């Protein structure tokens, strides 16, 4: 992690402090412990450019999120109208998630619903709206203090892209035994054509083949071509001029198949190119690989790569939440990963924790006969990772979906009531997707239930936003206090010793007691995450955690 140099605590939430605190006042017995403590939390602002890219990011599939015009397809205006759900810009409210960054999946014109195969990198898909709609979205995000990053897939284009159409038409008309001449058609050099059949290549229709590692509709770009790189530079600068705050880079291991060093070198060029235009732009790459592999990609200088070691059904998070791994395993892996990333990046890496994404089975389906406790715990374990944490839309309400990709990208269930004013935002979702799996209800069903999955996530993000050390600090794992069902660590910012917090986790369905006498200076219980009304108790050097409870303690 980078060392952080300037952190400013914002003004206390005046209205909340009036309600929840005061000299000599007793706690309101009608309020739960979670509401009583977490309601007093303050937010913080990160002032330097370095700090500004360590946030909490919400991944949105625009197609399925919020529909503004009644056609059943989510759009940019729908997202803009629901920004207050993600972050309303007012830290005194308790009706938003308080995420500080949004990542939109691809928004460019495309023949597919997912839009990872672009036909025009400098336009908005008509299903999603217009460029004016996008500009409004950017402005409204920034008004609320939300950064906006967009998905950029430059490994390939659509086979309907004008570049490929012109190149393929030229190649099809090429006389037998004649080699292509890029002076006659420069776009031939934009792709990889050969007369030899290879794995990952598709037949063009004559004696020629073209590289298309994902499928025939996604021809791979020739990233060694200087003109292609100039096109990519122009595309990135176009969107930076539109106000985007960075890019999520799709499939970075596929830029040069099975050539890691060339992938890293290309990313180094891309990152440098972006930062020359906007020094604090944020770059996060999808390197779907094990920890030892994606850590190497930090040598490119890119800010972040997704933390696949912790994610998915068999990752660290789900394994601990499920109970197939000890709670202590979580602390051990936090330290292992932080050490690895520090070593390869000279402390500059910003980890990108995430639990699931649009290519994975939704996490609420990972646990058999779960009442929501394990879904909640797992969500917290993700948000307790240092760096820039990511949440996939619907994760915060326990939305389920598995199997084919369409099921993983289903419509966000704003309401289950036809009479609700939220009904108009409901999307139809991708064709072929199965019925929504609403184990825990829609957003409207959950929003007023303090112990819902939604409100648990909202509290977890609020806590993350209140303690700078959680996202910016290093982990001091307390092995001697951790074990089968408990994990204890201190997260602190190295050059700001006052910024630290002790975190204690109970990963089991039974109450756990931890002897904190060796850390007696940590005596102020500042925040809790609980799955029921059972309270966290701290006193006489002992901490009692209810089932699946988490405590946040300061000196």
Both tokens assigned to 281 = 């732009």
- pLDDT of residue 15 exceeding 50, the answer is no
Q: What pLDDT does 326 receive?
A: 99
**Nearest CA among 389, 304, 395 for reference residue 353:** 389
| pLDDT 10s digits, 451-504 | 999 999 999 999 999 999 999 999 999 999 999 999 999 999 987 767 999 999
Kind of pairing, strands 44-46 and 7-9? antiparallel
Q: What is the mean pLDDT of residues 306-318?
A: 97
Residues 6 or more apart whose Cβ sits within 8 Å of residue 93? none
Tokens of 233: 């530079």
- Answer yes or no: is pLDDT of 48 > 50: no
Residue 17: count other Cβ atoms within 10 Å of its Cβ.
15
How many Cβ atoms sit within 10 Å of the Cβ of residue 194? 12
Q: Which residues sit opposite 237 in a β-bridge?
A: none
- Rounded to the nearest integer, the mean pLDDT of the chain is 92
24-28: long-range pairs with CB below 8 Å, 24+: none
Q: How far apart are CA 106 and CA 75, in angstroms?
A: 12
**What separation in angstroms does the CA of 431 have from each of 109, 365, 394?**
18, 21, 18
Structure tokens at 160: 């309907």
What pLDDT band is residue 23 in, cutting at 50, 70 and 90? very low
Contact 551, 501 (CB under 8 A): no
Residue 552 has pLDDT above 60, yes or no: yes
226-241 and 260-277 are packed helices; what angle lies between their axes, rounded to 10 degrees? Answer: 40
Q: Which residue has the higher pLDDT, 36 or 222?
A: 222
Helix (H) or strand (E) holding 526: strand 524-529
* Residue 416: per-residue pLDDT: 92
Q: Where are the beta strands (DSSP E) in 15-73?
A: 44-46, 56-60
247, pLDDT greater than 80: yes
Note the pLDDT tens digit of each residue in 109-127: 999 999 999 999 999 999 9
What are the extents of the domains in the chain?
A: 56-156+226-454, 162-211
Q: How many C-beta atoms surround the C-beta of residue 379 within 10 A?
A: 25
Q: Which of 395, 232, 242, 243 is nearest to 311 (CA)?
A: 395
The tens digit of pLDDT for each residue in 398-417 reads 999 999 999 999 999 999 99
- Dist. CA 479–CA 344, nearest whole Å: 25
Q: What is residue 528's DSSP assignment? A: E
Q: What is the pLDDT of residue 31?
A: 77
Contact 260, 298 (CB under 8 A): no
Alpha helical stretches, state H, 108-259: 131-143, 162-173, 226-241
3-state class of 192 per DSSP?
coil
Q: How far apart are CA 474 and CA 383, in angstroms?
A: 15
| Residues annotated as catalytic (active site), given as ranges | 250, 286
User: Measured between alpha carbons, how far is 244 from 242 in angstroms, rounded to an integer?
Assistant: 6
Give percent of the chain above pLDDT 90.
Answer: 86
Spatial contact of 64 and 430, defined as CB atoms under 8 Å apart: yes
Output the six-digit token pair for 223.
């990233």
What's CA 178's distance to the chain center, in Å? Answer: 49
Residue written as tokens 């819902």?
452
Topology (CATH level 3) of domain 56-156+226-454: TIM Barrel (3.20.20)
pTM higher than the cut 0.85? yes
CA 452 remoteness from chain centre: 21
**Virtual torsion, Cα 337, 339, 342, 344, nearest 10 deg:** -80
Q: What's the pLDDT at 14?
A: 34
- The C-alpha atoms of residue 402 and residue 390 are separated, in whole angstroms, by 19
Name which of 17, 550, 43 is nearest 320 in CA terms.
Answer: 550
pLDDT tens digits, residue range 261-283? Answer: 999 999 999 999 999 999 999 99
pLDDT, one tens digit per residue, over 85-115 is 999 999 889 899 999 999 999 999 999 999 9
């Amino acid at each position: 992690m980078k060392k952080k140099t300037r952190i400013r605590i914002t003004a206390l939430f005046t209205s909340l402090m009036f309600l929840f605190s005061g000299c000599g006042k007793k706690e309101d017995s009608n309020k739960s412990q979670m509401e009583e403590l977490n309601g007093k939390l303050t937010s913080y602002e990160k002032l330097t450019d370095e700090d500004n890219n360590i946030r909490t990011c919400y991944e949105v599939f625009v197609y399925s999120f919020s529909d503004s015009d009644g056609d059943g397809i989510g759009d940019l205006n729908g997202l803009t109208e629901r920004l207050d759900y993600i972050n309303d810009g007012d830290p005194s409210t308790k009706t938003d998630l308080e995420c500080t960054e949004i990542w939109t999946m691809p928004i460019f014109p495309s023949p597919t619903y997912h839009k990872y195969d672009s036909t025009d990198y400098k336009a908005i898909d008509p299903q999603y709206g217009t460029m004016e709609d996008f500009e409004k979205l950017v402005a409204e995000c920034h008004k609320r203090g939300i950064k906006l990053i967009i998905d950029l897939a430059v490994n390939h284009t659509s086979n309907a892209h004008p570049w490929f159409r012109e190149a393929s038409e030229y190649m099809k008309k090429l006389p037998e035994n004649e080699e292509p001449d890029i002076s006659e058609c420069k776009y031939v050099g934009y792709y990889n054509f050969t007369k030899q059949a290879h794995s990952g290549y598709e037949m063009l229709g004559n004696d020629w083949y073209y590289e298309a590692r994902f499928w025939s509709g996604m021809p791979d770009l020739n990233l060694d071509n200087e003109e292609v790189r100039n096109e990519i530079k122009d595309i990135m600068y176009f969107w930076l001029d539109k106000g985007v705050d960075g890019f999520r880079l799709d499939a970075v291991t596929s830029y040069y198949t099975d050539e890691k060093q060339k992938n890293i070198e290309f990313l180094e060029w891309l990152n440098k190119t972006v930062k020359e235009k906007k020094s604090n732009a944020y770059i996060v790459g999808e390197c779907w690989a094990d920890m030892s592999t994606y850590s190497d990609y930090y040598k490119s200088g890119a800010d972040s790569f997704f933390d696949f070691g912790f994610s998915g059904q068999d990752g660290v998070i789900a394994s601990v939440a499920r109970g197939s791994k000890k709670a202590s395993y979580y602390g051990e892996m936090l330290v292992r990963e932080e050490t690895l990333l520090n070593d390869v990046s000279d402390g500059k890496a910003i980890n990108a924790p995430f639990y699931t994404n649009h290519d994975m089975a939704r996490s609420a389906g990972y646990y058999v006969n779960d009442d929501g406790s394990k879904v909640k715990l797992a969500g917290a374990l993700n948000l307790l990772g240092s760096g820039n944490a990511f949440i996939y839309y619907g994760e915060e309400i326990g939305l389920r979906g598995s199997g084919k990709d369409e099921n993983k990208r289903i419509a966000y269930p704003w309401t289950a009531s036809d009479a609700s004013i939220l009904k108009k935002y409901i999307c139809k979702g991708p064709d072929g997707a199965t019925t929504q799996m609403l184990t825990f209800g829609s957003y409207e069903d959950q929003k007023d239930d303090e112990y819902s999955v939604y409100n648990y996530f909202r509290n977890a993000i609020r806590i993350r936003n209140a303690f700078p050390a959680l996202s910016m600090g290093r982990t001091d794992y307390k092995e001697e206090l951790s074990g089968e069902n408990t994990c204890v660590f201190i997260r602190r910012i190295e050059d700001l010793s006052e910024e630290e917090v002790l975190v204690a986790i109970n990963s089991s369905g039974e109450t756990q007691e931890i002897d904190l006498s060796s850390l007696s200076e940590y005596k102020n219980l500042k925040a809790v995450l609980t799955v029921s009304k059972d309270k966290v108790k701290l006193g006489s050097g002992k901490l009692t955690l209810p089932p699946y409870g988490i405590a946040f303690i300061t000196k």
